[in-house]
Chain A
């Protein structure tokens, strides 16, 4: 398997040969920033196209098919349109907070990108509390949504923001606990550590029952965390028109829109990290030939492919299920998911202590 750290250390050495080390670090930061933004934009565009095609297939439609071959350029055209649209300024709003909110949302999702295991040796920062950092920064997003709803000075956005606050704070618990279950199993919070621990088999297989339960809970809570259907109450088109981002226009709206899709990618990316081995190829012990074939597939493809498959499941939810009501949503979290999660954590600990895993 190709190790991307060869490339990154070559660039590092090259730059350090030319300039002092502080300058080299600065240049590297800029390069990473550009790369990150590029990956971010491309992934978002891909996801918009992907979801539209998938939902069209569910609904007996064709989806976008006019701009470019198979409509692939449709999302580029849409994004360009959003970029050149007017940012409408409203009266009677808190202008500073109103403008700040979309940036908070997008920064939160962008920072989460830093710790995702893109490929072997291809990770922006790799430190011992990677997962912890991820959970921490992804929670900033809810602040942006609350601010957006509050500063718009509109009753619909306010209700949307309050729903969002209640929902995300609740489901953060489930995410945290299911992540904790897997961290306990891996024995490390470092992202590379977790991936390396799955060399002999992905956690979903080696962790069997408790890992499976954790995965299901993570998937439900992750869908809720990204405000997607059937948990899209903060937006709830048929109830609150567009919820917290009703008053936004132009690229400010675009930021919410992009962040929603990127959060979908992050949630699926973390799921693939915790349960499906991150970039780690599928290895079956004893099948040497098979393992070698698997190793030929680049690690980046493994990671992104896994993330897309999990995203597909989440998109599938959205286009099949009706929306929950706010009290049912909270009941689901506090009455079912949370207790199950706590029991599952104990179960996982028992499995680890007695070595009942594979």
Chain B
């Protein structure tokens, strides 16, 4: 008996050391110079915490080995095979699995005898958050990988949304059920119903949210998986779960807030309202004539430019144009042009999406600038090249009060001397708002696939 107590003391001490390493690791992850080491440190913390837990096991070792080895194999394979362009959906998927693990932990705890009322409430909360994280992440995965096309307004979506709303009173019911069992009617199999309802609710939570709002949703789900782990820690009286889970919850929350700010919208607006329908966008009758341009002409202008700002968006990811963009950037630099990349925080489908793509194409990260860095000196830029971005460069956001995106911080490319917009067609962006940038005096439209268009410019440079 004394032996067991000793083991627990050792375990708790190692948990504290692990917690410190997690804290330092996540701090180092926030700086370019130390990020790689930070990730190693946090992996080491994970290893220590897991290893020391193995000192006192109740479960059959075979089950554990099978689970860890199989899970490790699947996780590693996915991580090694995945293309860098598929990172958003991978992160969503892994996140979902973390949520599922806490969901199962809480379920297992529910089956234990003699749970106190407080433990019962914790179990239900953990199941709810873990379950929503799991099924919500799966839907996010489906949407990001474009396997799932259902969106707002469809019949099926509405059914799931109603599950989401039903799930909230259901959560209250299952939390208070044991303490008020004499006063409220008992539903015999309420627990199984609750399990299913929770998973349905996660689907209804994410399904109506559109592609451009995905950076917010992914950060939020990330945060939720941490909070679920922290609650599981409370349930199991384990301090490292609490600390690590809370850190993840907090970091996800911060990213969520940063993303929402970058869109000048509140989180509730993003989650439950969505953009106003594009109907009112017709009010901006600033239409005029667009001036198309060919790659040849674009090349001639670029050859004489002394400073170029590249502004990528989700379209660059779709066209897989990041490598030719880097090639063009290098050729321009050889030609004596100063090249920079203006990255909007919500360009793409996850926080920092464009940064990852450009890093994959070997663009040095000190060339990547945030809107606040490039906007003040925009009028000195000779050519701004907008590649598959739309809402994040829409001047309505600064000029047109009443526009659905008014107030959103943008990259003000319209102040540059010349703007090239690479675009497939004249369709409007995710927000459904017409972009007056396309009709500006200094704007030239380069229609077609971004990869091909830039490829042609690159070819001209090489001649």
| A and B together in one complex | no
